[in-house]
């Protein structure tokens, strides 16, 4: 497998820098904090880290509103801190991926400050500007994901500008070739600095319909989106015109051509469209993105049938590309809470990691998944997320998955000597790294054991996948590759479940760090959230 690109089958650990470790006492995590904890990350057995934005930003959307794509925000440190992080990660054998946000900037970016002044400045056409209708209303019916109209009036130009997200996140005009080139230029800046790849935020939002056509209405029974709720007016439309335009393909090919000049550099695109699986397959075919992922497993749906059907649909559509799967990230409730309720069992956390890391593809795991952290309950008065503040109380926003990493059981969880930017959850202190390090049966130590075992399983890292037709709540499939054939079985239930092994001779696998499953006469009895791996003999 030495000729296989490093990212195929890789496990990528997402670090949300605000909440990882604070070293200067301001209550916000920073790049030196990541440097201090890279040995811990390496001990997990993951292959790479993905660092959420640390660029200069007014932090209206906590770094996803970038004011300078080449500068580190002083809140997080300096470029020299990033260089130290990169060097240490590489010494530890970790690849480093960073977020890039192509589709929009902060309204404090120098490009937008210039663009908004008038119609004739050099950056006048760098953002999506449009005249009002005759009655002064916005040019079309497009809506923002964060609620309300996707257009904001600018009196200096007497025009509206487009914002698919916050009004302080104006959308760039990728129909302008100068915008495309400026984007490629700052991507190259980070490649030259030595990064190994990029997670591309909302990559299908770069281009908009140049004719500004209205989005058609969506029937009430279809108002179910990935990453937004049915009470958000954004769910009331088919988003055919404000994103996922055909012109994006050519730009992705330009991005790929740039990365091909840097051996081993990789792109991972975040995709949220009307048919995210089809778009993921399209965007990863040919010389486009290396990998893509969507919100399909970041939802409340939790059944063997849903997971089997979702992965199978992508497998059928993705004839060339490579998938990446995730069940948690910084935008959704933590998986053990979504799928296990308010008091999730430790075995659920162990099972979820094993399950997602056994699907065909690469994997993104979010900080704290290795501890089995549940969603934190952040009171309204402590909320920071503008999305949650707007939609409270039906939707509490994203703060509950962004609370500080619990390193110890102390009051501050070992995160900061100051007041943390979000409160530390009491339940998290009991699940701290220090506590779990000392417990041989902990989620953390099971995680480490599983990752070490997985690396030695060629079928799991890069093999094919074939699902078995099982009844709920059992999910089962066979992975085959590298001279190995492995059966993977997961009980997606808090009650025991029976599973009849397929025909053939199967030998239960050892050393994966999960509780053993007894097999008797071709039948396995899975305990609550139980997992069985077996090799064909």
Catalytic machinery residues: 201, 270
Omega before 393 within 30 of 0, i.e. cis:
yes
CB 198 within 8 A of CB 191: no
Contacts of 451 (CB under 8 A, 6+ apart): 11, 44, 45, 46, 357
CB 205 within 8 A of CB 164: yes
Tokens of 293: 């992922």
User: Which H helix or E strand runs over 531?
Assistant: strand 531-536
Short-list 390, 304, 322, CA closest to 360: 322
Any idea which residue has 């009331």 for tokens? 236
* Eight-state DSSP code of residue 243: S
Give the number of other CB atoms < 10 A from CB of residue 424.
22
Q: What are phi and psi of 388, to 5 degrees?
A: -70, -40
Q: Return the beta strands (E) in 121-207 as ranges.
A: 129-130, 151-154, 159-162, 197-201
Short-list 518, 531, 535, 340, CA closest to 447: 531
Tokens of 135: 């009655």
Q: How far apart, in whole angstroms, are the C-alpha atoms of residue 262 and residue 1?
A: 21
CB 510 within 8 A of CB 484: no
Tokens of 82: 């990033």
CB 54 within 8 A of CB 60: no
Any idea which residue has 């190259």 for tokens? 188
Q: How far apart, in whole angstroms, are the C-alpha atoms of residue 380 and residue 400?
A: 11
Tell me whether residue 66 is exposed, middle or buried, using C-beta atoms within 10 angstroms of its C-beta: 0 to 12, 13 to 18, 19 or more. buried
Short-list 418, 381, 384, CA closest to 401: 384
Half-sphere exposure of 369 (CA within 13 A, CB side): 34
Short-list 388, 381, 394, CA closest to 423: 381
């Amino acid at each position: 497998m030495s000729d296989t690109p490093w990212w195929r089958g890789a496990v990528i650990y997402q670090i949300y820098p605000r909440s990882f470790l604070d070293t200067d006492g301001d209550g916000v995590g920073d790049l030196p904090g990541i440097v201090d904890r890279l040995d811990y990350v390496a001990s997990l057995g993951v292959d790479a880290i993905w660092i959420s934005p640390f660029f200069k930003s007014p932090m209206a959307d906590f770094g996803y509103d970038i004011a300078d794509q080449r500068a580190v925000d002083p809140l997080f440190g300096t470029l020299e801190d990033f260089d130290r992080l990169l060097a240490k990660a590489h010494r530890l054998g970790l690849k480093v991926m960073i977020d890039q946000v192509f589709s929009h900037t902060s309204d404090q970016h120098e490009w937008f400050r210039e663009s908004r002044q008038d119609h004739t400045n050099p950056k006048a056409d760098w953002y999506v500007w449009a005249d009002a209708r005759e009655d002064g209303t916005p040019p079309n019916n497009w809506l923002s994901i964060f609620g309300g109209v996707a257009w904001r009036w600018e009196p200096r130009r007497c025009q509206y500008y487009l914002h698919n997200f916050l009004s302080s996140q104006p959308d760039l005009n990728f129909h302008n070739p100068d915008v495309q080139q400026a984007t490629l230029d700052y991507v190259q800046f980070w490649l030259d600095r030595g990064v190994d790849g990029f997670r591309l935020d909302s990559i299908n939002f770069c281009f908009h319909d140049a004719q500004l056509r209205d989005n058609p209405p969506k029937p009430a029974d279809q108002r179910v989106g990935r990453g937004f709720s049915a009470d958000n007016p954004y769910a009331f439309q088919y988003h055919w015109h404000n994103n996922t335009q055909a012109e994006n393909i050519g730009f992705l090919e330009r991005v790929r051509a740039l990365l091909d000049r840097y051996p081993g550099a990789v792109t991972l695109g975040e995709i949220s469209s009307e048919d995210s699986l089809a778009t993921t397959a399209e965007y990863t075919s040919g010389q486009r993105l290396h990998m893509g992922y969507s919100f399909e497993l970041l939802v409340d749906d939790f059944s063997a049938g849903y997971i089997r059907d979702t992965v199978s649909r992508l497998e059928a559509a993705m004839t060339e590309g490579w998938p990446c799967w995730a069940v948690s990230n910084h935008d959704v409730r933590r998986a053990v809470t979504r799928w296990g309720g308010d008091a999730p069992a430790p075995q659920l956390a162990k099972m979820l990691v094993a399950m997602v890391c056994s699907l065909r593809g690469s994997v993104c795991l979010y900080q704290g998944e290795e501890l089995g952290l549940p969603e934190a309950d952040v009171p309204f008065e402590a909320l920071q997320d503008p999305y949650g503040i707007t939609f409270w109380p039906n939707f509490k926003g994203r703060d509950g998955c962004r609370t500080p990493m619990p390193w110890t059981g102390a009051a501050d969880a070992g995160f900061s000597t100051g007041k943390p930017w979000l409160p530390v959850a009491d339940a998290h202190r009991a699940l701290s790294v220090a506590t779990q390090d000392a417990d041989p049966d902990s989620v953390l130590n099971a995680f480490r054991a599983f990752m070490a075992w997985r690396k030695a399983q060629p079928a799991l890292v890069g093999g094919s996948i074939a699902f078995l037709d099982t009844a709920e709540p059992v999910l089962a499939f066979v992975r085959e590759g590298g001279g190995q054939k492995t059966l993977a079985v997961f009980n997606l239930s808090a009650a025991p479940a029976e599973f009849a092994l397929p025909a053939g001779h199967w030998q239960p696998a050892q050393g994966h760090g999960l509780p053993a499953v007894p097999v008797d006469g071709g039948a396995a009895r899975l305990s609550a959230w139980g997992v069985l791996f077996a090799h064909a003999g």
